[in-house]
Amino acid sequence: MKQKKKMTSTGFLLLITIALFIVMYVAGMVIFADKGFAKPQMFLNLFVSNAGLLVISCGLTIVMITGGIDISVGSVTALVCMVMADLMENKGASAYVAVLVALGIGLLFGIVQGFLVTYMGIQPFIVTLAGMFFGRGLTAIISTDMIAIKNELFLKWANFRFYMPFGSTNKKGKFIPAYIPPTVVIALIVVILCAILLKYRKFGRKLYAIGGNKQSALMMGLDVKKTMFKAYVLDGFLAGLGGFLFCLNSCAGFVEQAKGLEMDAISSAVIGGTLLSGGVGTPIGTMFGVLIKGTISSLITAQGTLSSWWVRIVLSALLCFFIVIQSVLASAKKKK
């Protein structure tokens, strides 16, 4: 007896997301044909400019699957960038040390926040809200001026390019290969590793079980607290790594950096099919969420006359739309 494969609401949400991304991108190709939306490089740029966000969103997805949330990621990014810039420019540290410190900061945030959330039982939102203000304030304490990074090794990393076998031809008919910087490679590796971790490893399956129903996960004998703590630590680490990638893009540290990044990351995850109530979500879906965010920004940039505020507004509207769909789907499921 073959059962007809039912469309789950998860798959449905992911499908909407992918379709939305394709529609938006194709619309961009048609409307802004002269802006080069059809060029492969334009597509790759979606990854290039959002590599940091991609890694951060993956971390956030893991936390959100357990039913938690982390809104400190934007501030952690700013702090990481500032610390790296300060270490390399003012303290004379090498780029390797700076990277290690960056990852350490992320890890520390993850450990402290994870401890407060899981072992002290405080609402994740309050903890990470405090983390968000703490990180931003600490950035300001280090320096209120912008520090540009001029470290040779760091700039070498930032400007390194992997050239692709494909590309586009310019007006003179010369072939220009498409390229990606190392940040994209790291980000994609993180996405794949996270996807494997969540899908095929014990730890990942535990996360879904806890997010689906904490009580039954506990009764099944899962170590709920330890697993959730690990999720926050992993999220913190990825926020640190994302901050490093972000820094490779901006090559500077300043207080206002990455403001609102937490919103971008949360909306990317939600648009990518992660349920706010936990238990559902995939890094691949989140990746498409990030791509949609990237497409919105490049569409608005291409349009030219709209102010950059519109990116946030459109993204918020989209987030709102997906939250409403989730809520409707959830209530429909209950009625069944």
What's the number of CA atoms in the CB half-sphere (13 Å) around residue 290? 32
Query: What's the CA gap between 188 and 40, in Å, rounded?
Result: 17
Annotate 210-274 with DSSP letters as a single string: HHH-HHHHHHTT--HHHHHHHHHHHHHHHHHHHHHHHHHHH-EE-TTTTTTHHHHHHHHHHHTT-
Per CB under 8 A, does 276 bind another protein?
yes
Among 52, 59, 110, 131, the residue binding another protein under the rule CB under 8 A is 131
Q: Is 116 in the site for another protein (CB under 8 A)?
A: yes
Residue 203 lies near another protein (rule: CB under 8 A): no
Residue 22 structure tokens: 């394709």
Q: Give CA–CA dist 2/83, Å, rounded.
A: 58
- Segment near another protein (CB under 8 A); pick from 4-12, 35-43, 181-189, 307-315: 307-315
The answer to whether 218 contacts another protein (rule: CB under 8 A) is no
**Choices 93-101, 183-191, 239-247, 316-324 (CB under 8 A): range interacting with another protein:** 316-324
Contact pick of 3, 34, 92, 144 for another protein (by CB under 8 A): 144
From 23, 176, 317, 332, residue interacting with another protein (rule: CB under 8 A): 317
Here the tokens at position 316 are: 């918020």
Among 218, 237, 286, residue whose Cα is nearest residue 100:
237
Query: What count of other Cβ atoms lies within 10 Å of the Cβ of residue 29?
Result: 16
Cβ atoms of residues 204 and 194 within 8 Å: no
Of the candidate spans 130-138, 186-194, 214-222, 240-248, the one that interacts with another protein by CB under 8 A turns out to be 130-138
Question: Which residues, numbered 70-109, are part of the site for another protein (CB under 8 A)?
Answer: 71
Which of 12, 96, 133, 166 forms a contact with another protein (CB under 8 A)?
133
Residue 122 within binding range of another protein, rule CB under 8 A: yes
| 3-state SS assignment for residue 252 | strand
Interface pick for another protein out of 39, 205, 214, 312 (rule CB under 8 A):
312
CB of 319 to another protein, least distance (A): 6
What radius of gyration, in Å, describes the C-alpha atoms of the chain?
20
Query: What SS3 state is found at 336?
Result: coil
Choose which of 97, 155, 263, 302 interacts with another protein (CB under 8 A).
263
Q: Which ranges in 90-151 belong to alpha helices (H)?
A: 95-114, 124-142
Residues that bind another protein (CB under 8 A): 69, 71, 116, 119-123, 125-127, 129-134, 136-138, 140-141, 144, 255, 260, 263, 266, 276, 307, 309-310, 312-313, 315-317, 319-320, 323-324, 327, 330
